[in-house]
Structure 1
């Protein structure tokens, strides 16, 4: 029999900390106290990082790629700098699940030798450190998904995306924490514990790619890869003020990645990039597609990266409210400002109503996830007698649907997809602008509602979560008298109203979401640039 889950988890956490070299451990005399909520300024202000390390880790991926190709930076220099900053990020936010420092530095030296000998880079991502979510397999390391039963079971192979990134010259140096089974909108599990938001450690970094978002927001990565099945890229991006792309299924390779709900394909999990800037998101997306991943992943679609010329005048539908949960004041303020600026920039803005479709999609997805009666999760908990976390109650209580009932869900999903597309086409939309979530950020254990993101997983639409440049302001984002007296619609709406704490989230970035139709990744990125330009005007 294996040891108790608590014992296994404690040993894994200790091993993770021990894998950080002494030289990258924050000296006790400069370690920020737990009471210091915002730790994002630590690298700049601590005096612990050299000027070169700061210059490297404060640079965007697109800038680093140019400097690595030119030889201004060696790959080893860049990799060491990001390994150190990622180590600091973990010590302050608990964002990592695996360190791959030895592998990363060996790879970096090989890349440097190749460039020095041949004068040519290995590939389009030559020398660039990229962080990856825990579910990506790296030969010789665990991919636990937060389950104690998967600790100490290193993968014998790489995920397809990992092989492609390495072949393109990228360096994989850390894996990042996820919630149990990657099915919680906050990043917490029984093995590694909770990941904290570096902008305010009393707030969540989101989930399930919350280890990635915390690492990137701290500056421990300039580009990370996460996954999304109900909002798992867009929610962490929104909680930390980052950019991300949720692609349609088939654009990026998913083969050989680990899933907490293996075999569930009623709604497909996809992966995509997270970064502080749009240019990095666009560069990564194009470079991955140009690697022809459909030759390695049978579920990838053979669609080359396409050049798109979007109209100067976009027709954008604005979803103010999905009629399930009313967005909180900062989200409504950001959406109104975005609409005003887009109109001034000459874009055609029209109202877009949910007409019950968003609530229907959320209910469908909720049924899809527990259609096996929670057996997938229970099977991963059972070997070590690990308990269900409270956030996984719906999986613990679920009843298996059976094949016939599952097929009926597929029919409902297909019908919803058809009707939503018909409405979209009839309206002649280029995009939908809407909240990523009803909140800008929330305290731990208070992320209640994923309906604004999961609807587009059900539809399999391309979507970008992006920072608006606005921040929560407690002076203007408190509840109005109307907010305080309004009648709530359901338990999610009531919880959102009851738990709204503008004091706790004061100063946090505000994201919105831009959505295009299925397989319109190039278009949604181009439109996101136009929206961002309008917001900056």
Structure 2
């Protein structure tokens, strides 16, 4: 892509051109005026839409609405899709200028689609599907014809998709959605923070010193800022739940087979020892429910051979039996996460739900080991092949891939057997307990400063098990005066009052780096886990939990 400039590496040139083209795709009318632009020193930019005076009351009312409210008004004609789409395009443009969260902009195409949907409603009197006229943002790896899906590699820039992802086709053609942006991801979508050599780093809208997580971190940042009401990301080791937890929004990690995954770009193409799945991110659980029903009611198994023909099933709520993982045997959560767990457990018990301890023991260590070995099974060859095409260097977050050894087919087959045995043991233990769900941290912290995200064990184990999971805001926020470090002032000696003993080097590093002053006020999320293919149940159970804690 382009010619070589002396002194500038090819990959750097490619990235610079891509970043410039993205900014150029923002219309002048949606470029934030210089006199309104928050200074770089301003950490929290979530207040910009409501305080800057740049957004009209109508634009704010639309973009502050829930998806459920919007689809009702779009269906009865109270709102037009053009008006809703324009409002979200403008707010997404602002989000990118302040957080660097987008990877593709398709505002013109979105407005054309919206106008056609408005015409359809006027002509027929009927909406086109359950999401008629609703703008939906997509993670970068969802192919859309004519647009890049770089997944953070410079080698993929300038090679647009020639076919749409199966899910994109379903959302557009059967559900009536409008696509207007795609969102940034880390290199190969295999880093728990959103940073790559193409577009740079996505930052947290509530504190730009902090990460919005990864790999669906662009989606999470956009939704928190209000530039999207409903987005779709993917998850192979926590890539939906980690950014949702970092930003305090909701997400559903479904089991493989419920939502279509065909014709998406992968950072590790062909790797199926642990499946990547996709799911929704939103500011409310009702919107997660709305999306899930819409996709499954569209019968995705008719277009994706790997989808299971399971219609959306009615479920009832009851008193729950919940197992609590206080720590996973590898990393003790930081103080605000432990506090959120304790407060949630107390409220569940007070409401009559049964709560038991569910010690992770050695099981979660094995699960985390399985996940790591699956990711590294090819010796990093898939990632290396893409980097070498443009001379792109390994990012420091991915050096363990650079030093990995190819496992070989025979050992990979053995690993599959070990994974299946692990899944069976976990299932048996779950059934013997009589539990309905597991309650545990999503991550060991609320969020962290850039470059300091460590440990995906709390999410990744459930990818190996392929369980249905929701990350949800607990209602607890970090309080620097309450959630003090378990370490003494020098960060090396445990305070006698805490009795903290690190479970691992990673555990020690996380607690040494924990800074309550920096994350003060950040929301703390927890994770609710149900069995495999129990998406309806985990949503219903999470609603029951929310009723107790709200």
| Bin of the TM-score, shorter chain as denominator length | over 0.9
* Residue among 270, 283, 289 paired with 1:263: 270
1:533 partnered with 2:547: yes
2:7 aligns with none
- Give the Cα–Cα distance (whole angstroms) in 2 for the partners of residues 277 and 120 of structure 1: 26
1:505 partnered with 2:505: no
CA contact (8 A) 2:137 2:179 kept: yes
* Residue among 62, 87, 97 paired with 2:93: 87
User: 1:484 Cα shift?
Assistant: 6.4
* Residue among 348, 371, 375 paired with 1:369: 375
- Give the Cα–Cα distance (whole angstroms) in 2 for the partners of residues 356 and 289 of structure 1: 36
1:517 aligns with 531
* Residue among 294, 299, 302 paired with 1:295: 302
Query: What's the CA shift string for 1:433-485, capped at 9, x where partnerless?
Result: 00001111100000010000001000000000000111100010002434766
2:213 aligns with 206
CA contact (8 A) 2:485 2:511 kept: no
1:244 aligns with 251
- Give the Cα–Cα distance (whole angstroms) in 2 for the partners of residues 448 and 510 of structure 1: 16
SS in 2 for 1:505: coil
1:476 partnered with 2:490: no
User: 1:487 Cα shift?
Assistant: 2.9
1:32 aligns with 38
Query: What's the CA shift string for 1:64-106, capped at 9, x where partnerless?
Result: 0001011111000000000000000000000000001111000
- Give the Cα–Cα distance (whole angstroms) in 2 for the partners of residues 245 and 263 of structure 1: 24
RMSD: 0.9
1:280 aligns with 287
* Residue among 488, 501, 507 paired with 1:493: 507
Cα separation, partners in 2 of 1:482 and 1:252, compared to 1, 3 Å = farther
- Give the Cα–Cα distance (whole angstroms) in 2 for the partners of residues 319 and 427 of structure 1: 14
2:223 aligns with 216
- Give the Cα–Cα distance (whole angstroms) in 2 for the partners of residues 490 and 531 of structure 1: 31
SS in 2 for 1:216: helix
- Give the Cα–Cα distance (whole angstroms) in 1 for the partners of residues 499 and 316 of structure 2: 47
- Give the Cα–Cα distance (whole angstroms) in 1 for the partners of residues 280 and 302 of structure 2: 21
Query: What's the CA shift string for 1:213-252, capped at 9, x where partnerless?
Result: 0000000000000000000000000000000000000000
1:144 aligns with 150
- Give the Cα–Cα distance (whole angstroms) in 2 for the partners of residues 357 and 296 of structure 1: 37
Contiguous gaps of at least 5 residues in structure 1: none
User: 1:108 Cα shift?
Assistant: 0.3
- Give the Cα–Cα distance (whole angstroms) in 2 for the partners of residues 178 and 24 of structure 1: 23
2:343 aligns with 337
Query: What's the CA shift string for 1:112-142, capped at 9, x where partnerless?
Result: 1111111111111100000000000000000
- Give the Cα–Cα distance (whole angstroms) in 1 for the partners of residues 260 and 393 of structure 2: 32
User: 1:486 Cα shift?
Assistant: 2.9
* Residue among 173, 185, 190 paired with 2:180: 173
- Give the Cα–Cα distance (whole angstroms) in 2 for the partners of residues 84 and 300 of structure 1: 35
Moved over 4 A (4+): 482-485
User: 1:309 Cα shift?
Assistant: 1.2
User: 1:36 Cα shift?
Assistant: 0.6
User: 1:323 Cα shift?
Assistant: 1.2
User: 1:190 Cα shift?
Assistant: 0.2
1:113 aligns with 119
- Give the Cα–Cα distance (whole angstroms) in 2 for the partners of residues 119 and 172 of structure 1: 23
User: 1:391 Cα shift?
Assistant: 0.6
Query: What's the CA shift string for 1:325-346, capped at 9, x where partnerless?
Result: 0000000000000000000110
1:454 partnered with 2:460: yes
2:165 aligns with 159
- Give the Cα–Cα distance (whole angstroms) in 2 for the partners of residues 494 and 350 of structure 1: 27
1:133 partnered with 2:139: yes
2:128 aligns with 122
1:295-374 correspondence to structure 2 within 5 Å: 295-311=302-318, 313-374=319-380
- Give the Cα–Cα distance (whole angstroms) in 2 for the partners of residues 483 and 186 of structure 1: 33
SS in 2 for 1:504: coil
SS in 2 for 1:28: coil
Contiguous gaps of at least 5 residues in structure 2: 5-9, 487-494
- Give the Cα–Cα distance (whole angstroms) in 2 for the partners of residues 469 and 50 of structure 1: 30
1:8 partnered with 2:14: yes
- Give the Cα–Cα distance (whole angstroms) in 2 for the partners of residues 205 and 482 of structure 1: 34
SS in 1 for 2:103: strand
User: 1:489 Cα shift?
Assistant: 2.4
Further displaced range: 219-228 or 474-483: 474-483
User: 1:491 Cα shift?
Assistant: 1.6
Further displaced range: 114-123 or 265-274: 114-123
- Give the Cα–Cα distance (whole angstroms) in 1 for the partners of residues 161 and 228 of structure 2: 24
- Give the Cα–Cα distance (whole angstroms) in 2 for the partners of residues 424 and 102 of structure 1: 51
Query: What's the CA shift string for 1:335-363, capped at 9, x where partnerless?
Result: 00000000011000001011211111111
Query: What's the CA shift string for 1:159-184, capped at 9, x where partnerless?
Result: 00000011121001000000000000
1:425 aligns with 431
CA contact (8 A) 2:485 2:515 kept: no
